A and B are shown apart, each in its own frame.
Chain A
Amino acid sequence: MNKRDLARLVKESNVRFLRMQFVDIFGSTKNVVIPVSELDRALDGKVTFDGGSIAGFVRSEEVDMMLKPDLSTFAVYPWTLDGETEGRLICDIVQADGESFEGCPRTTLKRAISDAREMGFTLSTWVEAEFYLFQRDEDGRPLLDGNERGSYFDFSPSDVGEHARRHMVATLEAMGFHVASAHHEHGPGQHEIDFKSADVLTTADNVVTLRNVVKHIALERDLHATFMPKPLGDGAGNALHIEFMLREGERNAFADEGGDRGLSPTALYFIGGLLAHAPAITAVANPTVNSYKRLVPFWDAPVLTVWSERSANSMIRIPSQRGEQTRIELRSPDGSCNPYLTLAVVLAAGLDGIRNELLPGQPLAGSTYELSERLRAERGIRELPHSLREALVELDHDGVVRGALGDHIYHAFHEAKAAEYERYRRAVHPWELNEYLALQ
């Protein structure tokens, strides 16, 4: 799509305002809204914003930033604001001189994609996004004790969030997204929406869009939507499962009919790379203090660096389809991650596995929760970090994952997350009061 096509589309869609969207290093959506009269300037990448006020872009020399829109991401929101139609464009952040900005998560992912392309690979991805819908009290606060008691794949009427979920899917489809399926998840009020396959950059854009749409529709229905990794202590956490398929030309590079389990050496190396860099990836894919409340041996959450063909609680699972449908699923990321950075580090880890021929050992059969210490040691299996602090230490020591983030994002991310952990460490939590206040 060129600028002229887009201008025509904007006019035909009766768009009055355009949201120029981007994300900060934590994956939070930011936007600069422009009236459609400023469209030409926006399409020429002339819209500026104050980078100093965005987390992760804080250096004084980065105050003047510009938004370079990706025209292929144009979409019209199927809702109106005060009767005005809104469209959106997802943007890369560039410096005032037009040079790419190292702190832009979308550019970071593009760099990883370019590395893959140089090795002859393109990546397709599928995502499964989980989230909770909570009712609100009179003051608009979410009621965590639940609005329903539905469970995995439950059918109405127990799934009272179904109407909201259906509305969300319809909205996403109206915006041109390809939703593969949607269903109730394990937890009460927990739902999942799955996207069809897309190239890796589109997948990251889709995750951001999904989060915005889910939150918007929930708000419209007086519900509170959350992608928080573990909102309920005794309920399933919110994962962001990602499936990968690497293509080499027209061929699925993961498939090999005569290979071990129908997997090619490339697939095994990719898995080996993911396992080798898993602890450092965790810092990015599970970037909040709360993320580590999910990574415990319950509710099929992964806790060990293992791969399996069937086990739902392994970090990496190989879905049963083979041949051209052969894929690798990563199950550790959660709903709080920045999808651009997560996909960038995961891709870098997989490519490192291919470059260095890192092999993953044999897959594990059965539940990973039952693995003995001895077996873990023999198989070189490591536990995923227990806390954000541990994950940051792992990140410090992993040159591949750090390299994929780039110096700017690594330092800004590390500083912010270390501070976040420190705030958590200093806080006295309700559990502690409940447990220790009455101590003699």
Chain B
Amino acid sequence: MTTDELLAFAESLARISAAGGGPKAYASHLAGRCRGAVLVEDAEWHHLALAGAGERSVPPSARDLIRQASRDDEGFARAQLPDGGHVLAYPMRAGDSDLGWLVCLGLDGASGELAPLLRLTASAIAVDLVREAGGAKGRRRSFWERLLSGSYDDAGAARDDAAARGVTIASSYVAVAVEAEGMDEGAAARQLSDVRKLCLAHLHHQSGETVTIDRAAGFVFLIPAPLPVDAQNVALAASMLPKHAVKAKLDVILVGGVGSRAADILDTARSVDEAREALVIVRRLFGGGRVGAWEDLGLYPLLHRGATRDELQAFAQRTLEPLRAYDEKNHTELLRTLALYFSVRQNVKTASERLNVHRHTVFYRLRQIAEICNRDLDSAHDQLALRAALAIDALLSPAHTPS
């Protein structure tokens, strides 16, 4: 093939592009030149286009052909059909992304001249696919970036803009930030892609689509959570991600954080901030291999960000309220028992004497406290949260403020 012929082919591809492009148009053009069938499939082996099949028997997918084909140094895959016809295929790529395969089938064997045409066509289709995906993706990305940067004044405006951009949004979300540690430099892109797939497989809700936002060493996922229980389940599912990664042999260590549920769409940015903050705290305090929920980290987020008096009071209120409510309803003294238990250095015998109850009663109450507060009293971290809440309550609550 001469240089002029090659240039002419490239110009014809440009004309197809100018006319709107599309895999089918490129495939038809190439089929006319190779006098064989041309099949286009995406990276998931989904059918995109078929041209020039005529009477030929074309397999429903080129997946098995490609997998069994021999590869040359330039990336071409060559195989033979059962009827003797030859197959020549070339991957469609854009940067590091695999977009699928362009496959010529039923060739008579003289594929030397076809190779550069196949390669040019694969590039043209790849540009087309990226442009196509980039349009929708770009519009979506733009919406979420605007939402998370606080560009919308009210939820209605956010919903209107989402609808205009073709983005379907759930009523509320929970954010999960995940990063991968220990990645192999050479395989980082593939490992991140695996991490993304793993997270999406385990973080989902039937009511809507999970949103993925790319970050440098990981991702932020926004998972629909119509009810508070859905947020609990997201935190639970996220906490299992490091184990899933080990089981899937991803060769990375996951670390992550989960924000609290954003009841309003505009509140999603806060959930993302909390998730990222939780990730930082978890990494510093516990190392990798763990995903922690911001709401379960107790005092640490307040220490990390330097909390205000109001935030401290809110923390104490949030932490102790379940015990207060239980005491009030059942005329018990669990809150007093907890405070006393800590004040006597967790000595059950002394606590029982001060409370005038049997020590078994103290044990029983402590189990009740742990269950009601959803805390493990043997955990140093949970103890710190409860001790701090009691101290803040004593120092800052209006009932204790000197008049």
B10-69 residues with Cβ-Cβ distance < 8 A to A are none
B227: interface (CB < 8 Å): yes
Minimum distance in angstroms from A260 CB to a CB of chain B: 6
Q: B228 and A366: CB pair below 8 A?
A: no
Q: B371 and A379: CB pair below 8 A?
A: no
B239: interface (CB < 8 Å): yes
Minimum distance in angstroms from B241 CB to a CB of chain A: 10
Partner of B326, one of A268, A359, A366, A378: A366
How many chain A residues touch B (CB < 8 A): the figure is: 19
Q: A309 and B371: CB pair below 8 A?
A: yes
Q: A380 and B202: CB pair below 8 A?
A: no
Inside 8 A of B374's CB, which chain A residues have their CB? 362, 365
Q: A265 and B227: CB pair below 8 A?
A: no
Inside 8 A of B237's CB, which chain A residues have their CB? 357, 359
B161: interface (CB < 8 Å): no
Q: A361 and B229: CB pair below 8 A?
A: yes
Q: B371 and A310: CB pair below 8 A?
A: yes
Partner of A380, one of B227, B368, B372: B227
A377: interface (CB < 8 Å): yes
- Chain B residue nearest to A365 (CB atoms) is B371
Partner of A265, one of B229, B230, B243: B243
Q: B232 and A265: CB pair below 8 A?
A: no
Minimum distance in angstroms from A126 CB to a CB of chain B: 24
Q: B236 and A268: CB pair below 8 A?
A: yes
A265 to B240, CA, bound (A): 7
Partner of B236, one of A260, A309, A370, A381: A260
Minimum distance in angstroms from A272 CB to a CB of chain B: 8
Q: A379 and B228: CB pair below 8 A?
A: yes
> Known contacts being A361-B232, A362-B232, is A260 close to B371, with CB within 8 Å?
no
> Known contacts being A265-B243, A366-B326, A379-B228, is A359 close to B371, with CB within 8 Å?
no
Q: B229 and A379: CB pair below 8 A?
A: yes
Q: B229 and A366: CB pair below 8 A?
A: no
B233: interface (CB < 8 Å): yes
- Per-residue CB proximity of A154-187 to B under 8 Å, as 1/0? 0000000000000000000000000000000000
Interface of B is mostly: helix
> Known contacts being A362-B374, A365-B372, A366-B372, is A378 close to B239, with CB within 8 Å?
no
A310 to B370, CA, bound (A): 12
Q: B371 and A377: CB pair below 8 A?
A: no
A247 to B45, CA, bound (A): 37
Inside 8 A of B229's CB, which chain A residues have their CB? 361-362, 378-381
A345-360 residues with Cβ-Cβ distance < 8 A to B are 357, 359-360
Minimum distance in angstroms from A164 CB to a CB of chain B: 35
> Known contacts being A260-B239, A265-B243, A359-B237, is A380 close to B371, with CB within 8 Å?
no
Minimum distance in angstroms from A399 CB to a CB of chain B: 14
Q: A357 and B372: CB pair below 8 A?
A: no
Partner of B227, one of A260, A268, A359, A378: A378
A381 to B229, CA, bound (A): 9
Inside 8 A of B371's CB, which chain A residues have their CB? 309-310, 365-366
The CB with the most chain B CB atoms within 10 A, among A272, A366, A377, is that of: A366
A148 to B397, CA, bound (A): 56
Inside 8 A of B239's CB, which chain A residues have their CB? 260
Inside 8 A of B368's CB, which chain A residues have their CB? 365
A272 to B236, CA, bound (A): 12
Q: B202 and A357: CB pair below 8 A?
A: yes
**Chain A residues in contact with chain B, CB under 8 A?**
260, 265, 268, 272, 309-310, 357, 359-362, 365-366, 370, 377-381
**Chain B residues in contact with chain A, CB under 8 A?**
202, 227-230, 232-233, 236-237, 239-240, 243, 326, 329, 367-368, 371-372, 374
Pairs A–B under 8 Å by Cβ, sample size 16: A265-B243, A309-B371, A310-B371, A357-B237, A359-B236, A360-B233, A361-B236, A362-B229, A365-B371, A377-B227, A378-B227, A378-B228, A379-B228, A379-B229, A380-B229, A381-B229
